[in-house]
Amino acid sequence: MREIAAAVAEPIGRLGGAFMISREAKAYSTEVGLTGWAPYFRGRFGVLGDVDADVVVSAAGFFPAETVREAWEAGAGLSATDAADRYAVVAHDFGRRKLADFAESARLAELLQLVVDGSNVVGAPLFAGWRAMRLPEDDRARAIQLAHVVRELRGGLHIVAVLASGLSPLEAVVSGTSAILPDGEANAEYFGWPRPYPEVTEDVRRRHADAERLTDELMAPTFATLEKTEADELVALLAKAERAVFGPRT
C-alpha cells in the first residue's frame, strides 16, 4: 500500500488544504475579527483545545515557535472549540462550492471514511482531533472534511519522518515543495522563519527524499482497510475531484 500512499499524497494535500486559503477562509477571518496567522491557528489547531501555545508548536511542526505563539495568543478571545467548529464550516462551504458539479462525491467520501476509521492516531494529534469532529450530511462538504482529516494524518507522520531522517523542520521547509503554498525559501519566509536560511545541500536533498519515502511507508497501513479495487478507485476519484476543484493540470 506504500504505492497508494504516494499516489494520493498530492491530491489529498491539495483537496484537504485548499479551503484554508479560500474566499470562505477570508470570510471566516473577517467574521471572527482576527488577522494574520491568528484565524488559521485558532481554526486548524482548535481541535487541540485551549492549550498553551507550546502544545500547538508540537503539532504544527514546520512553523517557528514565535510565529505560533504570537498567532495562537492573538486569537485567545475566540474559544478553541468554537474556532474549530467554524473552521470546519469553512471546509464545508468550500466543498459545496468547488465540488458542486462533481457527481461522485458520495463515493469519494465513503472511501475516505474507510481510510479515516481504520487509521491509528499515534503520532498525529491533529488527525485525532479532526477525526473526532462531526461530519456534515452533505456529500461534497463531507468529502473535503475527510480529505482534510487524511491530510492531517500524513502531516503528523511527515513530522515524525522528517525528524527521523535527520532534518530540522526549517531544513525540511526550505528543501521541500508544497501542494498549495510557495516552495522553498519563499515558504519559509511565509511561515515566519527568520533569515539566514540553511543551504540546501545534496545531503539535505537526500534526507528530504528519505523523509518523503518514510512518510509513504508510515501512511501505508492507513490504506490496508481497502481492497485493491477500492484503493485504485480512491486514487481515480481523488484525481477527478482534484480536477473538479483546480481544473486540469497544465
SS3 43: helix
228: how many CB neighbours lie within 10 A of its CB?
9
pLDDT per residue, tens digit, the chain (250 aa), is 899 999 999 999 999 999 999 999 999 999 999 999 999 999 999 999 999 999 999 999 999 999 999 999 999 999 999 999 999 999 999 999 999 999 999 999 999 999 999 999 999 999 999 999 999 999 999 999 999 999 999 999 999 999 999 999 999 999 987 655 667 899 999 999 999 999 999 999 999 999 999 999 999 999 999 999 999 999 999 999 999 999 987 6
pTM value?
A: 0.96
Instruction: Let me know if 52 is exposed, middle or buried by CB neighbors in 10 A (0-12, 13-18, 19+).
Output: exposed
Helix H segments across the chain?
A: 2-17, 23-32, 38-44, 53-60, 65-74, 80-98, 105-117, 125-131, 139-164, 169-174, 184-191, 202-219, 228-246
Cβ 29 vs Cβ 73: under 8 Å: no
